[in-house]
Each structure stands twice: as structure tokens, then as C-alpha cells.
Structure 1
Amino acid sequence: MVRTPLTPEERERGERLGLLLRSARGERSMVEIAAAAGLSAETLRKIETGRAPTPAFFTVAALARVLDLSMDELVVLCTPAPAPAPAPV
């Protein structure tokens, strides 16, 4: 099965998610957070570094629960800003 390439917006959203999760983790170890969320540390590492820019909903929900983040906040903070409209000619 061939996977459809990600759009630039999807990649940017994944990078934003990774940065947000890394920031929310603070000084806690990747292993500690991953275990509490029921994930491997490698999965969390891939999400945080943007190598897994489209993690499953339940993966994000589990991380949000462990990191005490609101799913609503994640949606807002991870959504790229719309591109500016071209200037009228």
C-alpha cells in the first residue's frame, strides 16, 4: 500500500505538535511520559521530532492526558496560520 505524501500543512502541524509536546514534557523523561501514555519512547521521540507528523488520534489523546493538555488547545496551537491572500492587482 502506497501512502499519500503529506502536504506542507500536515508536516507543519506535526512539527508544531512535536514542539508543543516537548515543551509540555518539561524536565520529565521521555521514557516516563511514554510509559504513562502506553507508548514506546521511540514513538514519542518520532512525534516530538516531527518524524511521525500524523500520529493516531488516540496516541495524541493519551499524551494530552498525561501532559495535562486540552485537546481543544492542541487543535488551536497546532493548526498552521492561513497563508495571506494575494494582493489585488
Structure 2
Amino acid sequence: MVRLPLTPAEVARGQRLGALLRRARGNRSMLEVALDARVSPETLRKIESGRVATPAFPTIAAITDVLGLSLDAVWAEISRPDDDVGPATGHSTREQLTA
């Protein structure tokens, strides 16, 4: 099977996802979060570094669950540019996640 190259938008989305997960992990170790999510530390490292721009849904679901993040909020955060403002509150999704 041939895998098509990722688009620049997919690469950017993967980088935003990695940055979001790193921020949400805070002071917790990568090993601790990975083991709690039942993924390998290497997988988490690759996702956080943006090397895996399109991780499997169950992997992200497990990691976000361990970090206490809503999948809806994560998707909203990574799917639009950083300067986009959420329609309901006038605050960016990043501000809503950290509030």
C-alpha cells in the first residue's frame, strides 16, 4: 500500500497537536503519561515532536483521556490557526483550554 505524502495543513495540525499535548502534560513525565495511556513512550514522543502528524484515533483518545482533555476541544484547537477566535465566547480555544 502506498501512503500519500502529508499536506502542509496535516503537518501543521500534527505540530499543533504535539504542542498541545506537551502543554497539557505539564510536569508529568512522558513515561508516566505514556504508561497510563497504554502507549509506548516512543509513540508519545513522536506525537509530541510532530513526527507522527496523523496518529491513530484510539491513541489520541487514550492520551487525551489520561491528560483530562476533551477530544472536541483538542480538535477545535488543532484544526484552526492560532489567531482564530471561538464564536461563542470571543476567546480562542487555547484560552478556553487553559482557563
In structure 2, the partner of 1:4 is 4
* Structure showing greater Rg: 1
More relative contact order, 1 or 2 (CA 8 Å, 6+ apart): 1
Unpaired runs of 5+ residues, structure 1, are: 82-89
Matched to 1:49, the amino acid is S
- Superposed CA RMSD in Å reads 0.7
Are the counterparts in 2 of residues 14 and 50 from structure 1 also a CA contact under 8 Å?
yes
Which string of whole-angstrom CA distances, capped at 9 and with x for unpartnered residues, describes residues 2-55 of structure 1? 210000110010000000000000010000000000000000000000000100
Aligned length: 81
Q: Distance in 2 between matches of 1:73 and 1:48?
A: 17
Please show how residues 2-81 of structure 1 align to structure 2 within 5 Å. 2-81=2-81
Matched to 1:57, the amino acid is F
Q: Distance in 2 between matches of 1:67 and 1:52?
A: 19
Q: Secondary structure at the match of 1:15?
A: helix
- Relative to the length of structure 1, the TM-score reads 0.88
Instruction: Give every structure 1 segment of 4 or more consecutive aligned residues whose post-TM-superposition deviation is greater than 2 Å.
Output: none
Q: Distance in 2 between matches of 1:80 and 1:43?
A: 24
Q: Secondary structure at the match of 1:44?
A: helix
Unpaired runs of 5+ residues, structure 2, are: 82-99
Q: Distance in 1 between matches of 2:80 and 2:41?
A: 27
Q: Secondary structure at the match of 1:52?
A: coil
Which string of whole-angstrom CA distances, capped at 9 and with x for unpartnered residues, describes residues 43-85 of structure 1? 000000000010000101001100000001011000133xxxx
